Chain A
Amino acid sequence: MIPSALPDAATFDAAALRADFPILQQQVNGHPLVYLDSGATSQKPRQVLQAEYDFLTSSNAAVHRGAHTLAAEATDLFEDARETVAHFVGARPEQLVWTAGATLGLNLVAYAIGNATVGRGAPASARFALTAGDEIVTTEIEHHANLIPWQELAARTGATLRHIPVHDDGTLDLDAAAGIIGERTRIVAFTHVSNVLGIVNPVAEIVSLAQAVGALTVLDACQSAPHLPLDLPALGVDLAVFSGHKMLGPYGVGGLYGRSEILEALPPFLTGGSMITTVTLDEAGYLPPPQRFEAGTQPIGPAIGLAAAVSYLQDAGVESVHAHEVRLAERMRAGLVEIPGIRLLGDAEGVERVGLWAFDVEGVHAHDAGQFLDAQGIAVRVGHHCAAPLHRRFGMTASVRASLALYNTESDVDAFLDAVSGIRTYFGVNA
């Protein structure tokens, strides 16, 4: 085990824990790296890499098959990892399905519902079957991963897609939602926190609207899982997804949480080895969840790495991490609003937020602004951040986004603000 550089939660000290993130200790373009793109992917602490390394060098074997010692060890580590990650989101292990990531998780749900629609898994799955005229509701602020799978499901089933609009300040229009979510609504898929706006959406209100009409709720928790204390059963959603690599974990692994009765009634999406009971040449029976949704060899090392990542977050104290990131985001906002020509997206007052800001620099394209920041070692995201409809709604094609994580410091924010204040001068658009 590598001793953690983590401080006590009470005295959260980001500068100290940066020792666990070797990548942050480098110069980029002659400046100390200021990594402000954790919303796209987080950096990984050495403990995560070490957990994968230890597994691969000591216990590597395929899980849930074979009677040899390593196979048993690997299975134990893999299932322990499931328990650790499930507990991290308030769930029981049998409620957590390993996926390749949130995009796969959302496609899994959409395709499983498509399979239910053609009668697979009946009679238990009949509750999910869609008919022409049924409605699937998303929002205007979704990441493409929580939009396009539903567009495709609607196209395959004859269902209609509807969208909860967003106010100019970035909050969802709940009055409109109450009108949109109705008798024909079968699915309500929405994000916990938009990857562009950073606002924590009112999950309870939306779940309550959906439950009143018996609609299935699907939550995209990618931007909340790394940054907020998360209790998915308490939120009341039926299904939720998150991505390992955005929460200090490895690539290629993520989680799908489901309420037990939902997962038990849902037919599989991917089929093959490890998800079956009996198989003949003509048909097969399927295991109960979560294995029913885990066809083929799973990302075992990454799952163990993800467990190490959530343990790291727990050791840091998720509440403390959240408070630290919010404090930095407030410092960032205070600086940004003082810089002429900066327009923040989703600058609603009195809302709970995570640590990110997307913004427009008047007169300078986001790509140019990002290039200018990169020349000073500052890594931000530019573009539409896989939320093109949201940008169109705000009358733009691209924005600059700075997203924080537990390893960012006040000096990161100050270096960023200092650089942002020079953008318009450099491109000659200072008023």
Chain B
Amino acid sequence: MNGLDSLYQELILDHSKHPHGQGLAPEEGRTASSHQHNPMCGDDITLRVRVDDAGQRLVDLSWEGSGCSISQASASMLASLVEEDGGEEGLPREDATRLIEGFREALRSRGKIPLDEETYADAAALSGVSKFSARVKCAMLAWVALEDALARA
């Protein structure tokens, strides 16, 4: 696989064209939102979370935004991951935090730390982004928005 194809894997292009979790859910129950913007390229996302009454579980994630295929695919993959891992009960807050931290560590590793497919599912395809330092922020945008929204929820 050449350098470009390792960045733009089929899965990434699929997610960017058919994004998952797009369209903000209504502000019902305990919700919080985060708006993130990358001034370098104009990537923009608003991400909303709903947590359970105790504030311990992430029960819904929705987003809307615009930007490059990496930023859009990353938001879509994150939404899928949260939905799959959370199931009926929702994703424990600490699990979400662990996922975000692991993702950030891998993306900042300049290709040294791959994302584990079992943990990250489709989002593991974003491992290739870490070799393109100018694009790391694109991939991080939705994850930073989730981190920020959870801190407010």
Please name all residues of chain B whose beta carbon is closer than 8 Å to the beta carbon of A384 when the two chains form the complex.
42
- Closest Cβ of chain B to A51, distance in Å, is 32
Counting chain A CB atoms within 10 Å of each CB, the highest count among B8, B42, B70 belongs to B42
Residue of A nearest to B44 (CB): A397
Q: C-beta contact mask, B4-26 vs A, less than 8 Å → 1, else 0?
A: 10011000010001000000000
Question: B135 touching A382 by the CB < 8 A rule?
Answer: no
Residue A383 CB within 8 A of the other chain: yes
B41 near A383 (CB under 8 angstroms)?
yes
* Known contacts A375-B2, A375-B3, A427-B13; is-contact A368 B44 (Cβ 8 Å): no
Query: How many angstroms between the C-alpha atoms of A61 and B43 in the bound complex?
Result: 47
1/0 contact string of B27-43 vs chain A (CB within 8 Å): 00000000000001111
Is residue B66 contacting chain A, with contact meaning CB distance below 8 A? yes
> With A427-B13, A428-B13 as given contacts, are A367 and B41 in contact (CB-CB < 8 Å)?
yes
Q: Verify if A239 is at the interface (C-beta below 8 Å from B).
A: no
* Interface size of A as a range: 10 to 19
- Could you tell me if B42 and A368 are in contact, using CB atoms closer than 8 angstroms? no
Interface residues of A in 387-431 (CB under 8 A from B): 388, 391, 397-398, 426-428
Contacts of B135 in A (CB 8 A): 367, 371
Least distance between A118 CB and chain B CB atoms (Å) = 32
User: Beta-carbon contacts of B58-75 to A below 8 Å, as 1s and 0s?
Assistant: 000000001111100000
A interface majority secondary structure = mixed
Q: How far is the CA of A258 from the CA of B2 in the complex (A)?
A: 53
Within 8 A of A (CB), among B124-139: 132, 135, 138
- Taking a contact as CB atoms under 8 Å apart, the answer to whether B42 and A427 are in contact is no
Q: Which of A364, A365, A427 has most chain B Cβ within 10 Å?
A: A365
Q: Which residues of A contact B8 (CB under 8 A)?
A: 368, 371, 426-427
Q: How far is the CA of A371 from the CA of B41 in the complex (A)?
A: 12
- Cβ-defined partner of B3 (8 Å) among A29, A398, A427: A29
For residue A426, which residues in chain B have a CB less than 8 angstroms away from its CB?
A: 4, 8
Q: How far is the CA of A375 from the CA of B5 in the complex (A)?
A: 10
User: Quick one: given A367-B68, A368-B69, A428-B13, are A383 and B4 in contact (CB under 8 Å)?
Assistant: no
Q: Check if A251 is an interface residue, CB within 8 A of chain B.
A: no
Contacts of B7 in A (CB 8 A): 371
**Cβ of A398 and Cβ of B41 under 8 Å apart?**
yes
Closest to B13 in A: A428
25 contacting pairs across A/B (C-beta < 8 A): A29-B3, A365-B41, A365-B67, A365-B68, A366-B41, A366-B68, A367-B43, A367-B135, A368-B8, A368-B68, A368-B69, A372-B4, A375-B2, A375-B3, A375-B4, A382-B41, A384-B42, A391-B42, A397-B42, A397-B66, A398-B42, A426-B4, A426-B8, A428-B13, A428-B17
- Apart from A29-B3, A366-B68, A383-B40, list 18 A-B contacts with CB within 8 A: A364-B69, A365-B41, A365-B68, A367-B67, A367-B68, A367-B135, A368-B69, A368-B70, A371-B4, A371-B132, A375-B2, A391-B42, A397-B42, A398-B42, A426-B4, A427-B8, A427-B13, A428-B13
> Which 10 residue pairs spanning A and B have beta carbons closest together?
A397-B42, A365-B68, A367-B68, A375-B4, A367-B41, A398-B42, A383-B41, A368-B68, A368-B69, A398-B41
